[in-house]
Amino acid sequence: MRLKTILAFVLFFSGILITCAQSKDILAKSAMLNADEAYSKGDYSKCLKHLKDAEINLGKSNSRIQYLKVKSLMALGTDDFNNKTLWLQADTALKVFFEVTPENGYVPEKYEEMLFAVSNVKTKIAEIETAEQLFKQLKFGSVTDSRDGKTYKTIDIGTQTWLAENLAYKAKTGCWAYDNNPDNVATYGYLYNWETAKKVCPAGLHLPTRGDEWTTLINYLGGKSVAGGKMKEQGNTHWKEQWAKAATNESGFTALPGGSKRDEDGLFERIGEAGFWWSATEISPTYAGQITLGAYNNIQLTSDSKNSGFSVRCVKDISELKKWNAIIEREPTNAGAYAMRGHSKSVLRDYEGAIMDYTKALEINPDFCYAYVSRGKALQFHIKDIQAAKDDYEKVILICGNDPAAAYSCYYLGDKEKAFNILKKILKDAGDNKEKQKSIYYDLACLYSVDGNQAEALKSLKNAFEKGYNDFYWIENDEDFDNIRNSPEFKELINKYKNK
């Protein structure tokens, strides 16, 4: 009786064990089928979840589990370009695969595929670690906006210093939180129309130009086809998964997808998908240049309505000399850059250095009238080489008879009436062209000032402002205004339009 009872118990528990084994086998097969299906549909996260279930029942010593795990992790790592954790997990899965799989075992071609995967995974990990080291070497700083006390992180990229976050100063007009939700401002800053964007940056910073400052940044980072990935914040905390691909932020710029406000209907759109930033470059009376960052690496330099709402990234003011040094280093045959650096050296009273730069500009472009006049003035008033100055002025009259430079040359050669008549004729011929009008009014203001006619100088300068002239750095350093610079009327006029 006792023996029968024992046998019954043995048979009973054996049945339970067999049933458990069969159940585990069924669960494992089901998990593998689900993993295969998820992988075939490209749902790699779900595939990994099912592989984890299969591994519970089959253990790690299953080649197919490790094979699918490697493939899924690499696919996810390709989408989330710099997720080091995924690539390290893929590396671990590869090691397990080769531990449990005999040489050329499993399916031989898939074994070979895993051999190739080893190199790819290790290369990717090395790239990420290199990027991490480079990021540690980035030069971050900070700047505080005195208007509201907010402190912003800054980043040095090449010769430029940029805000490393979007501007979040609440302007009185032309300023919106995305979706009119103030909670969005802490992360994405405000969206501004172009007129507000031009003057909203804190003291010591300014809205970057499209053709110079934004382009300088993009070229430094390798060009439009790759710069975007180096500028975008890494991961998908703020960028949606599809738009976060290839983002490394190795520049430290930390571009965020703050979206935009459309001009035509006032709708907010594309937060999480794209970032839009204004440039200071005017394209037409209604359009201005802007920069767009969306999917993948590429960055677009486009334009949009001035009434649209875009983010603002300010760039730090740098000395004019430093700016032109950087441009000449990048573009060594840019005659205009040499002439402008010559002007910057004149401001610093380095007249011999200025003359050398004007001469270099003329070597590159022998018909550069501005460079002749500027060199002539430096020679006449500071080096006291009157004959050399006269030669430059006469050259201008010979090759640029209807150019403002000819007016300056006539004036300094003593024919003042002809000088003013040239400018007045150019102004008349300009018609309604405000770009030309503002430039000629400025030149008239300069010559009237040099001639000691303060009333006409101020009148012409006011007209230049009314037509859109706003280069106050140039005005403040233009020696042509030295005769009237200390007058209360001049200071009042400058302050009025500078703060307008």
Residue 18 lies in a domain: no
Q: Distance between CA atoms of 435 and 133, rounded to whole angstroms?
A: 48
Quick one: 261 and 120 in the same domain? no
Q: Please state, as a whole number, how many other Cβ atoms lie within 10 Å of the Cβ of residue 371.
A: 29
Q: Are residues 351 and 481 in the same domain?
A: no
Residue 16's CB: how many other CB atoms inside 10 A?
10
Q: Of 108, 136, 164, which residue is a domain's last?
A: 136
Residue 466 lies in a domain: yes
By three-state DSSP, how is residue 198 classified? coil
Q: Of 354, 387, 413, which residue constitutes the final position of a domain?
A: 413
Q: Could you tell me the residue range of the domain that residue 390 belongs to?
A: 331-413
Same domain, 156 and 265: yes
pLDDT in tens, 241-297: 778 777 889 899 999 999 999 998 999 999 999 999 999 989 899 999 999 998 777
For residue 17, being part of any structural domain is answered with no
Q: Identify whether residues 302 and 153 lie together within a single domain.
A: yes
pLDDT for res 344: 85
Give the CATH number for residue 405: 1.25.40.10
Tokens coding 114 = 């895993």
- What pLDDT does residue 69 have? 93
pLDDT for 57: 80
Q: Which residues of the chain have pLDDT under 70?
A: 1-24, 79-82, 104-105, 131, 134-136, 319, 499-500
- Structurally, the chain folds into a number of domains equal to 4
**pLDDT for the residue numbered 14:** 45
Q: Is residue 114 part of a domain?
A: yes
DSSP 232-270: BPSSSSSS-GGGGTT---TTS--B--EEEE-TTT--EEE
Considering the domain boundaries, does residue 158 fall inside one?
yes
Q: For residues 311 and 362, state if they share a domain.
A: no
Beta bridge pairs of residue 290 = 278, 302
Question: Tell me, what's the pLDDT at 172?
Answer: 94
For residue 373, the model assigns a pLDDT of 97
pLDDT, position 7: 41
252, part of any domain:
yes
pLDDT at 461: 97
Does residue 60 belong to any structural domain of this protein? Answer: yes
| Joined tokens for residue 424 | 């007045």
Residues 127 and 234 in one domain: no
Domain limit, last residue, from 74, 103, 136: 136
Are 293 and 400 found together in one domain? no
* The pLDDT value given to residue 23: 66
Q: Look at residue 163 in the predicted model and tell me its pLDDT.
A: 97
pTM: 0.51
Residues 6+ apart with CB under 8 A from 141: 153, 154, 155, 156, 161
413-417 LR contacts (CB < 8 Å, sep 24+): 416/451
Residue 8: predicted pLDDT: 45
Residues 394-423: tens digit of each pLDDT: 999 999 988 999 999 999 999 999 999 999
Q: Which residues, in sequence order, are CB contacts of 59 under 8 Å at separation 6+?
A: none
Both tokens of residue 41? 């549909």
- Shared domain check, 270 and 167: yes
In this structure, the answer to whether residues 271 and 287 fall within a common structural domain is yes
Residues 216 and 312 in one domain: yes
In a domain, 321, yes or no: no
Based on the domain organization, do 72 and 132 belong to the same domain?
yes
Element (H, E) at 369: helix 369-378
Question: Is the same domain home to 153 and 287?
Answer: yes
- Give me the pLDDT at residue 5, please: 52
DSSP string, 429-447: HTTT-HHHHHHHHHHHHHH
